[in-house]
Amino acid sequence: MTKPSSLHQPLPAKDFTIELFCRVDDALLDQKKPALSQLHPSEVVTLGLLYALRGQGYRAFYRWVQKELRPLFPRLPEQSRLFRLLRQYHHLAERFMAHATALGVCDTLGIELLHPIREGRCEWHFARKGKCNHRWIVGAKFFVLLNQWGQIVRWNCCSANIHDTVFHCVIEDFEEKMVVLADTGFKAKDDNPTNLKICKRGTWNERMLVETAFSLFEGILNLKKQDHRLKPNLATRLA
């Protein structure tokens, strides 16, 4: 096995965070810091992106921030307060969505939120039993719409027991901008969006682009299994 070259060392966490914050802050120039807030919205969004990239739980991520990034965030709030802020500002991540192209791909990824033996023990739990990616899970569906470069244009989520056709409304928003390739799971009995092309198995291999994205989600972001109980918490993680 080839040893890693000394010329290519991992970027330190502080340097990566500074670079990420600069890009986020440039996109959120119109956001003002509330008078009583300890963190600027740009700082909150930066921490939210780091939380998604780390692929950890709340407590593990907070311990990592305290250990590695405390000098960059001297006014870091208490753990529960920080994650309430992430929920409050997660909608700002939509500004970093990619632009639509002439051709796009969409699909859903199953996220396991609960062990099947614990199904039904809690009525208010967001997880539901459903079939996704040819297997039964108790969890949620993560829908992504990618452009031809594999960049996320729009995303959404729902419980696993809901059919994929519920995301037709997202596809219709790009009716005049892009043609979207999808598998037969998105085919409705009545009407399909005019820009949706249903592809049978073995055709239009361009759709494999979304499988590459899903492999990154599972390997780097650890999205295959999560422990969130409420939809807002899961949406914060996905955003």
Segment 73-90 shows an average pLDDT of 92
Answer yes or no: is pLDDT of 43 > 70.
Answer: yes
How confident is residue 222, by pLDDT bands cut at 50, 70 and 90? confident
Answer yes or no: is pLDDT of 2 > 50.
Answer: no
User: Residue 223: what pLDDT?
Assistant: 85
H helices, E strands: number in the chain: 7, 6
Question: Distances from the Cα of 196 to the Cαs of 22, 193, 201, 210, in angstroms?
Answer: 37, 5, 16, 16
Could you tell me which CATH number the domain at 103-238 has? Answer: 3.30.420
Q: What is the largest CA-CA distance in the chain?
A: 60
Question: Distances from the Cα of 150 to the Cαs of 32, 53, 200, in angstroms?
Answer: 32, 17, 21
Backbone angles phi, psi at 15, to 5 degrees: -65, -40
CA–CA gap between residue 198 and residue 221 (Å, rounded): 29
CA–CA gap between residue 156 and residue 142 (Å, rounded): 6
Answer yes or no: is pLDDT of 205 > 90.
Answer: no
∠ Cα 127 111 173 (to 5°): 95
More confident residue, 118 or 100: 100
